[in-house]
Structure 1
Amino acid sequence: MSTTGLRINHVTVIDPHDGTRTPQRSILIQGGRITAVEPVPEGPPDPAARTVDATGMFAVPGYNDMHVHAIGPDAPAGALALMLANGITGIRQMSGSPELLAQRRTGTLPLGTHAPSLLVMPGSVLTPLNAGTVEAAAGEITRQKQEGADFIKVGLVSPEVFFAAIAQAHEVGLPIVGHLPSGIDAAKAARAGFHAIEHLGPGDAIWISTSTEEETLRAETAQQRLPKLPAIRLPSFVQRRVQAVIRKRLINPAAYSKAGDVARLQRAFDTHSAPKAALLAKEFAARATWHVPTLMRLRTQQLADLPAFASNPHLRYLPPDLVKDWQNSAATFHKQPQAVRTTLKAAYERQLALTRLLYTSGVSMLAGTDDGGWEVPGFALHQEFDELARAGLPPLKILQMTTSDAARFLGRTTEMGRIAPGYLADLVLLEGDPTVSVDHLHRINSLVKSGTHYSRQDLDALLARLEAGHGHLR
């Protein structure tokens, strides 16, 4: 790999904004930035820059995985390096803590040399542990703002806390994103300014919002009660211990689905109204409510016992203990009653259709993967591309979701999401045109991260080291 000046010649540059292809370009990179995109210069090579012949290649901005949990004590070993080896040059970290935010402030986050850039990160996810009441949520959000969080993420909270948290986040000037807890009116959340919905909910919130029995089903969810916890803020070390206890359940929450909750989801499916769904999608578009479907996360949860997951050859890059946990979680899922698994299987097909509806309705979306059983970091984003294609999204839209749309979401369109002078030198060279076929997004010839060039041989060597170390670089 090279960190000196770099010139990439004879490449076709693709602009993800509109799919424009400009052949026979020369990309000059210096100091981690693109300094020129121009016709291939005549004459001898510039001795001050390494020259790469990219004849037949297509250059696109680096991929961004916009929903990951790749940093912190629970992150899979080698996750960041696996992502880089798969063309991912930027990540949106979806869980944080006071400690991680402090490490970022001091430049001591353990990212490693071979890693994507950390684009944004929240503080601790809002749950009954730190946001059990409106007052606790307000205090937590204010603290996270002071600690340097880039946004607020909602996990599991009551409807009262949910809407109060949106208001408090707006008050302190932070976007708020995350889950729609069961019983939340999805349209009301959009109107309140909930910035991004992850995992198409998850759960039943959107499906209840599109049911002809919406009021009845939502009233049933109101009978549920969140766990009662102390009214005081728990120390960080106590929160970590509690989180460690539930970590294995989070490998696949569907493995612990309650029959009553799944039955209610089935009723929402049975009473689904296509016109109501269309109106809701239009509401999301009108309110600029983003979606991050994370289809692979949903697929690996709701179809967890598919034999193909357990035989995935990419599991060899991960620690055996982690794979064993995933196997145990899949076995637990398989013990669910057949009726539960049948509904969950149907749920995934419906989520593909919902993703298609969001796209055709003009809802802004991002490509992300999350973290959990059967998801191998890096490779999972490529599986996400394929699932988005299965949902009916065209190749250019999928490319946009991981490049230019990510830049737009972050408000960084002047330095990300395009190959142009002044932009960050993060790009992928592909052996096929990704606007023609999603398969070509997988055909990575080489990449550039912050001006450093990784040849195909470099990337293969990085993967070999991860395999030898079972997720640890050796």
Structure 2
Amino acid sequence: MPALIRIVATLFLGILIAVFPSGCMLAPPAADRAEVLAVVGGTLIDGAVAYPRPDTTIIMREGRVSWVGPDSAATIPPRAQVVSAHGRFVIPGMFDAHVHLASVQTPTGVVRQEIQKLLDAFLLSGVTSVLDCWATEEIFDLRRLIEEGSVEGPRLFVTGPGLTAPGAHGSGFGYATLEPTSPEEARGMVRALVLHRPDLIKIAIPSLSREIVRAITDEAHQARLRVGAHVLPGPQAAQAIEDGVDVLLHGFSGRFVPDPEAFRRWRIRGGLIVPTLVVEEPFTRLKDEPEFLTEPALVQVTDPRVLGRFRRRGPRISSDIFAKAAHDYQRVADNVIALHRRGVPIAGGSDAGNLAVFHGPALHREAELLVRAGLTPRQALRAVTRTAARVVGRQHEIGVLAVGWRADLVVLREDPTQDIRALSSVEAVVKDGQLVDLERLRRRVREPLVRRLTQPVFADFSQGEPTAHTGSRFVGIRETGAAPHSTVRIAVESSRLLLTGAVAEERGTFGGAEVHLAPFGLSAIDLDPTPAVRFRARGDGGIFRLELVTLDTERGVFGRAFKPGRDWKTFEIKLDRLRPIGVAGGVPRNLARSLSLRWVTAGGRRGPFRLELDDIQLVRRRR
């Protein structure tokens, strides 16, 4: 049975400090933390009380709300940090219950981005909690670093790797997934995944058999975990809730006629839907409202190079695609409002990372589309706060500003109960009882986010884990797109990284491993002082390729082939000898914006492969 790679239990902050020079950490200075924070004078709007409460003070300490009440009755400690919200509106921090941090899709393909910029975009937009739905094992480590305060970002909830059928939705994302072929195998995969404390188990319904889905939901429920499903047609959604799925992670088209008793049980166990209407409309919006790409709420939080791709290429998308997208969107919206009328809770989620679904502002748009579909502004506000927290079972501590709840809030310039578009009028954000420095984050989003490594030895696997000295994890990768797909397995044996698997076809498919240069891809790395990558390797006699992934807008990936034999050999590949993969001409123009290294099969090979790696070094230029 394919095994989920074991997650490292601890990754000390000292690793980051040893690898990066001082001043390069991605968290706010500890000296800026306030013991007590008070937001005074604002009109409080949340899901706990049916009416707005003007002239309200909220006092927070140790990450929790400690007092809420009228300004006139407030006793603010002498040394508290005070934020004036007079004439403003205060809401709970927003929660995006469906995001993807791995990449950003544009009209010209997927763009790799510094993950820190995406985390910043959420906070700048007042989104203080997110649920990442489907990622590599690295996401568990990133969640912990955010919890510890080593990395700045919204509160991160995760599913980890999703479960799907071989060759089905999700298996073409380009990295390893869990692909059970029997109910017994599915149960084992869920048990392995549970060890890493996912906040939700995610499955792709379209191709998993009903027996496997039932095995997954039963095993997850025994572990007190909810199950969310990627579904599209209505009949699939009906089968999902009949088979034990708790959360529908998309809206859907087509008829939805579940068994009445199954629907009743679904409602009792807290069933809900995350419609992701915003992911249904990008094509029509690029055609009908291209000016949205210049809105300040989007421009201030989004990397300019990403927006540039949309402005240049978005309007060229086929008119046939526009027409079909408009039809599909309306069918999905009609089903969402029908479920709402039947009493099904609606949670806000954007599916950020997809085409024209921008991290942060997309949740504001989702709320706007929910209102267009038939919710009131107050219902839409609840959807993107407390109801979204229900997806991961945190509705009793997130989404309401009451004593004992998480101290996450947003100060808005305008009233969202009058116009839901006011959600984009963010003036201040508090997360975990700490005021977020929004101007610092705006600068970080607009400017290149680049760090330097200080250790020449990048990875030697001496700890018996598939990790670099930066803490970054080697993860299995393969081709994206439709089946058939290659297989990849990563292990560490005798302090050496072992890659094994099988390449599906001779053209367009590959298998291998990728590792971020900076932990979790939070920033780019300046490799300009590094003329070469040196490593020891032995293999099966076939051709492999070392690849460098950069932030180069048009080309991005560069590589050079090498051929390891059955005996160990040291390879030193000069970066100025790399060539673009998939496009013509040129060498890496800017090594100062490098993201990751890959070792992949090459040379048109097919079938089994084996590669061992050791002693990976970034050779530095002598001064």
Give the structure-2-normalised TM-score: 0.56
**What CA deviation, in whole Å up to 9, does each residue of 1:340-363 have, x standing for no partner?**
653332111122222222222211
- Counterparts in 2 of 1:4-403, with a 5 A limit? 4=34, 5-40=36-71, 46-70=77-101, 76-77=113-114, 78-101=117-140, 104=143, 107=145, 113-118=151-156, 120-127=157-164, 128=166, 130-134=178-182, 135-155=184-204, 157-160=207-210, 161-180=212-231, 185-201=236-252, 207-209=254-256, 285=267, 288-300=270-282, 303=284, 306=287, 308-309=289-290, 312-313=293-294, 314=298, 318-319=302-303, 322=306, 334=318, 338=320, 341-370=322-351, 371-403=353-385
More strand by share: 2
2:428 paired with 1:446: yes
Cα distance in 2 between the residues matched to 1:277 and 1:436 = 38
What secondary structure sits across from 1:306 in the alignment?
Answer: helix
Q: 1:183 to 1:133 in 2, by over 3 A?
A: farther
**What CA deviation, in whole Å up to 9, does each residue of 1:153-197 have, x standing for no partner?**
112533333343323333444211121266954333213221111
Deviates more, 1:361-370 or 1:120-129: 120-129
What secondary structure sits across from 1:115 in the alignment?
Answer: coil
1:318 deviates by 4.4
Cα distance in 2 between the residues matched to 1:299 and 1:280 = 31
1:279 deviates by 11
Cα distance in 2 between the residues matched to 1:58 and 1:108 = 28
Deviates more, 1:128-137 or 1:26-35: 128-137
One-letter amino acid of the structure 1 residue matched with residue 51 of structure 2:
T
What secondary structure sits across from 1:28 in the alignment?
Answer: strand
**What CA deviation, in whole Å up to 9, does each residue of 1:198-224 have, x standing for no partner?**
1214xxxx51546xxxxxxxxxxxxxx
Cα distance in 2 between the residues matched to 1:303 and 1:357 = 23
1:89 deviates by 0.7
**What CA deviation, in whole Å up to 9, does each residue of 1:18-76 have, x standing for no partner?**
43322222221222222111332589974311222221222211111111112689874
Cα distance in 2 between the residues matched to 1:43 and 1:310 = 45
1:79 deviates by 0.7
Give the structure-1-normalised TM-score: 0.72
Q: 1:380 to 1:110 in 2, by over 3 A?
A: farther
One-letter amino acid of the structure 1 residue matched with residue 413 of structure 2:
E
What secondary structure sits across from 1:147 in the alignment?
Answer: coil
Cα distance in 2 between the residues matched to 1:170 and 1:329 = 45
1:427 deviates by 0.6
Contact 1:285 1:364 (C-alpha < 8 Å) held by counterparts: no
User: Which fold has the larger relative contact order, with Cα–Cα distance below 8 Å and residues 6 or more apart in sequence?
Assistant: 1
**What CA deviation, in whole Å up to 9, does each residue of 1:94-126 have, x standing for no partner?**
123334335546x489986441111x2112111
Unpaired stretches in structure 1, ≥5 consecutive residues:
211-275
More helix by share: 1
Contact 2:89 2:411 (C-alpha < 8 Å) held by counterparts: yes
Cα distance in 2 between the residues matched to 1:43 and 1:356 = 41
Cα distance in 2 between the residues matched to 1:448 and 1:357 = 35
Q: Give aligned pairs, total.
A: 396
User: Which of 412, 417, 426 does residue 435 from structure 1 map onto?
Assistant: 417
Cα distance in 2 between the residues matched to 1:148 and 1:43 = 40
Aligned equivalent of 1:241? none
Cα distance in 2 between the residues matched to 1:194 and 1:388 = 23
Q: 1:473 to 1:49 in 2, by over 3 A?
A: farther
Cα distance in 2 between the residues matched to 1:333 and 1:281 = 40
Q: 1:425 to 1:71 in 2, by over 3 A?
A: farther
Q: 1:398 to 1:183 in 2, by over 3 A?
A: closer
Unpaired stretches in structure 2, ≥5 consecutive residues:
1-27, 105-110, 172-177, 451-521, 525-623
Contact 2:146 2:152 (C-alpha < 8 Å) held by counterparts: no
What secondary structure sits across from 1:38 in the alignment?
Answer: strand
What secondary structure sits across from 2:96 in the alignment?
Answer: strand
* Structure showing greater Rg: 2
1:462 deviates by 2.4
Deviates more, 1:5-14 or 1:76-85: 5-14
What secondary structure sits across from 2:207 in the alignment?
Answer: coil
**What CA deviation, in whole Å up to 9, does each residue of 1:368-391 have, x standing for no partner?**
111211122111111112111111
